[in-house]
Amino acid sequence: MLDSLKALFTKHAAPASESVPAPKASAVQPDAGLRVAACALLLEMAHADSEFTAPERTHIEEVLVRHFDLDTDTARELMEVAERERREATDLHHFTAIINRHYDEGQRMVLAELLWRVVYADGELSRHEDYLSRKIANLLELRPGFLAEARNRARV
């Protein structure tokens, strides 16, 4: 397990100034910190209703494979790292600051849509999920109306 995590960070490490605490950075994939931050937000949304369901887990794995071009094992390792970081974080600002620094508005909009898809993966919208989505949209500095657009596209 430790070797696979080392390999993950060797393949996907971010510069130390922009990453969540991790082993030494590599020039090969300078966006691991960004990937961990995005995955941590997806996991936070999945846990918002106090129940992390199998459909939510599957959806997040598929998102990581598709959007970050990862194989399934690497996506699962990324989820483990992001879950640990999410649990240890005192707030979401650290994650959203990394995303705001590296994602343009369109990319942040896509992330908001992905967050809504996590919400709807279990077929239910809790008030905690609704609140958290608005909070994250604010932290991601999305313009008014973008959250509603992302929500509408995720429902389809």
- CATH assignment at residue 39: 1.10.3680.10
Q: How many domains does the chain have?
A: 1
Q: Give the pTM.
A: 0.76
Q: Scan for tokens 């699962």, then name that residue.
A: 76
Work out the percent of the chain whose per-residue pLDDT is above 90.
44
**Distance between CA atoms of 44 and 39, rounded to whole angstroms?**
8
Asked if 113 and 133 count as a contact pair (C-beta separation under 8 A), the reply is no
pLDDT of 70 above 50? yes
Q: What is the mean pLDDT of residues 64-81?
A: 94
Domain that holds residue 101: 2-16+25-155
- Cα 25 from Cα 9, distance rounded (Å): 7
